[in-house]
Structure 1
Amino acid sequence: MPATTPKRVIIFDDDEDILSICTYILEEKDWEVHTFTNCNDILEKVTGIEPDVVLMDNWIPDIGGMQATQLLKANSLLKNIPVIYFSANNDIHTLAANAGADAYLAKPFDIDELEKVINKVMAKIA
């Protein structure tokens, strides 16, 4: 049976604990995980990795999650990559909509919520 290519995810968050937890959870599900603590050169980072999905924190240096998501969605080569916006803000749904994200996940979240939202956006593009 041929080996399947692992699904790739990029997580942009400046909280090392969140990155560690998400990496552990997703690698257990056979994802290839790439993490960054800032959004500098975001177009180059995403183009170089070609992820299946992006997890984007709202409060991330330097340009912030909203502008970073807007840059991705404005790029013709990257706009179809689902972006899941995540934040502890109580208006996360508004922030995600304004950023142009495909879905959102409120912090703190549990493992099941993380898996559900990723599976939901992946099902839309399958």
Structure 2
Amino acid sequence: MSDKVKKIIIFDDDEDILSICSYILEEQGWEVHTFTDCNDIIEKVAGIFPDVILMDNWIPDVGGINATQTLKKDETLKQIPVVYFSANSDIQLLADHAGAESYLAKPFDLEDLERVINSVLVN
């Protein structure tokens, strides 16, 4: 049993989503980091080195697809699983295009959030 704290970064410009997700995940023992934009994304992610990243499609300034692709091109960060989340009907295509490991359609319920995060976690 690892007692290492699991870390997650949530990139979303919707403060309500950030606060809800943070509350839920912190209750489950996660260390949650949130950003409302993805500027300097390599520096942000490298400084925390999370177990999972939740990426919103409409994140300022470059958008979730570019942000995810930037991470996936980085040798040290590309293995961190990205869960793409969006209210777009074609979220699966967007997630595939971005190179994300999984996706979560908004609005989602707590079970969906837990399930998708656990599905990408590398134990």
TM-score by length of 1: 0.95
What CA distance in whole angstroms lies between the structure 2 residues aligned with 1:23 and 1:35?
A: 8
What CA distance in whole angstroms lies between the structure 1 residues aligned with 2:63 and 2:5?
A: 28
1:42 aligns to 2:56 (yes or no): no
Aligned residues, how many?
123
What CA distance in whole angstroms lies between the structure 2 residues aligned with 1:3 and 1:64?
A: 34
Offset, 1:9: 0.1
What CA distance in whole angstroms lies between the structure 2 residues aligned with 1:27 and 1:3?
A: 17
Quick one: which amino acid aligns to residue 19 of structure 1?
Answer: L
Write out per-residue CA displacement over residues 2-21 of structure 1, whole angstroms, 9 at most, x where no aligned residue: 98221000000000000000
Unpaired runs of 5+ residues, structure 2, are none
Alignment of 1:1-126 (within 5 A): 4-122=3-121, 125-126=122-123
Write out per-residue CA displacement over residues 16-60 of structure 1, whole angstroms, 9 at most, x where no aligned residue: 000000000100100000000000000000000010000000001
The alignment yields a C-alpha RMSD, in angstroms, of 1.2
TM-score by length of 2: 0.98
Query: Structure 1 residues 3, 63: closer, same or farther in 2, change over 3 A?
Result: same
What CA distance in whole angstroms lies between the structure 2 residues aligned with 1:3 and 1:84?
A: 23
Unpaired runs of 5+ residues, structure 1, are none
Runs of 4+ residues over 4 Å off in structure 1: none
Percent identity between matched residues is 67
What CA distance in whole angstroms lies between the structure 1 residues aligned with 2:3 and 2:97?
A: 35
Write out per-residue CA displacement over residues 89-122 of structure 1, whole angstroms, 9 at most, x where no aligned residue: 0000000000000000000000000000000001
